[in-house]
Amino acid sequence: MNSYQILFLDIDGTILRPDHTIEDSTKDAILQVQEKGLVTVLATGRPVHEIRELGEELNIHSYIGYNGALAIYQNEEVFVETIQAESVQAILDVATQHRHELVLYTKDTNYFTTLDTPNVESFIKTFDLKNNKLFTQEIMNQILGITVMTNGENDHLLYALEDGFHFSQVNVNGMRHCFDVIRDKVNKGVGIEYLLKSLKIPKEASIAFGDGMNDKEMLSSVGEGFAMGNAHENLFQYAKHRTTSVTQSGIYNGLKSLGLIKE
């Protein structure tokens, strides 16, 4: 009898393949652990309002979204932490100076600094974002997360982020010029620790799968952290395990190695 109680799953590159589909083996693995009584949680940099349809498909109703800024358990909000307006403005100022686009996420909308550039159009298409509007200063106090769309893989170095913030490169083909803004004290790992404490679940009873550098805190905050085979090369050092890629039954094989999957 296993003692695992909760499973945290990243979305892009972990559940979703590059073509936005989900392997049957992934669906089967999630269903099997749910039948064993494990709580399943989507833990993502994405805004929660954009992933509820996926959650319904997988019978998942708990989320850690916006890279840890919002935690929801069984459709009930348990934690939320917006970014201070001054910090948002500082990033906006540098982006404007270098003609970088931003997407700033609130609880219900993706606000873009522009909607008609190739960078933005490609970003929206890649992540299938639906609720998109132009950014306005009126929502400065509602921002839960930010993604910066630069012009190259090293352009994030143009930003001098304040203490407590760092960039995480988006680990999706064609999007590696994009960087999530991560807070040291508000990230997937912190969200997981809060949820584990709230549910009185010990760290050793938790499992997580991820592939991007925004998953490093998450994989370090659980008992069994799995880096996908397609993960960013720098992520493996933070994971206890390495599984196969998102296109090669990575979640299924990882959970099988823990004795949670019956073939």
Burial class (CB in 10 A: 0-12, 13-18, 19+), 239: buried
Confidence of residue 1 (pLDDT cuts 50, 70, 90): very low
Phi, psi (degrees; rounded to nearest 5) at 41: -135, 130
**85-183 is a CATH 3.30.1240.10 domain:** yes
Please, are residues 69 and 186 in contact by the beta-carbon 8 Å criterion? yes
Residue-wise pLDDT for 9-44, tens only, equals 999 999 999 998 999 999 999 999 999 999 999 999
Query: What integer pLDDT is reported at residue 119 of this predicted model?
Result: 92
Residue-wise pLDDT for 149-162, tens only, equals 998 888 899 998 88
pTM: 0.89
- Residue range 156-183: average pLDDT? 91
* 263 pLDDT above the threshold of 90: no
Torsion (CA) 113, 114, 115, 116 in degrees, nearest 10: -160
Q: How far apart are CA 117 and CA 17, in angstroms?
A: 26
Query: What integer pLDDT is reported at residue 2 of this predicted model?
Result: 63
Domains of the chain, by residue range, sit at: 6-81+186-257, 85-183
Residue-wise pLDDT for 108-129, tens only, equals 999 999 999 999 999 999 999 9
For residue 191, how many C-alpha atoms fall within 13 Å in the half-sphere facing its CB?
35
Q: How far apart are CA 245 and CA 18, in angstroms?
A: 11
- Residue range 70-96: average pLDDT? 94
CATH of segment(s) 6-81+186-257: 3.40.50.1000
Q: Mean pLDDT score of the chain, rounded to an integer? A: 94
